[in-house]
């Protein structure tokens, strides 16, 4: 399968990203739709991976001062544990470095995804907390 990483800017492609997020978070993980759609998408950059032209992974990144917060990382179930999420994160890291003025990356990781982010040099910060009914940890990484 040929994969391509890209920033998503076209409105119709953003809708595809939102549909993928709904499939993963709302339908699969049973997160309430009003928590998944939080009104912050307009202020974020959106990234995705396509496999043979099909959207298979997405995330968004919001600027917060000199930091960037990576959010809504979603990979379709059939494509997990195949390196797709890692490719997406590496692309996002590269894009954030290229911005030139971002010093810190932040994210909120579901507890079971912490080892994935640790492999990408993110570090847990603070105690476990509940978000959307699931245990999470805040994580950071300096650029």
Domain residue extents for the chain: 3-142
Give the tens place of pLDDT for each residue, 32-78: 998 898 999 999 999 999 999 899 999 999 999 899 999 999 999 99
Average pLDDT in the 130-140 region?
95
Q: Is the pLDDT of residue 1 over 90?
A: no
Q: What are the CA-CA distances from residue 103 to residues 45, 96, 99, 124 (Å)?
A: 17, 9, 10, 17
The whole-chain average pLDDT of the chain stands at: 95
Q: Is the pLDDT of residue 86 over 90?
A: yes
Residues 6+ apart with CB under 8 A from 63: 43, 102
Q: Does domain 3-142 have CATH number 3.40.630.30?
A: yes
Rounded CA-CA distance 42/51 in Å is 25
What would the two tokens of residue 36 be?
A: 């998944």
């Amino acid at each position: 399968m040929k994969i391509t990483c890209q920033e998503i800017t076209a409105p119709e492609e953003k809708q595809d990203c939102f549909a993928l997020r709904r499939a993963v978070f709302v339908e699969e993980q049973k997160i309430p739709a009003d928590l998944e759609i939080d009104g912050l998408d307009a202020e974020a950059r959106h990234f995705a991976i396509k496999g043979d032209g099909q959207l298979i992974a997405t995330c968004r990144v919001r600027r917060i001062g000199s930091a960037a917060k990576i959010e809504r990382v979603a990979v379709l179930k059939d494509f997990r544990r195949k390196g797709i999420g890692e490719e997406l994160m590496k692309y996002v890291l590269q894009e954030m470095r290229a911005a030139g003025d971002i010093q810190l990356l932040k994210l909120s990781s579901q507890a079971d995804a912490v080892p994935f982010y640790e492999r990408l040099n993110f570090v847990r910060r603070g105690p476990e907390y509940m978000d959307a009914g699931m245990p999470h940890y805040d994580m950071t990484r300096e650029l």
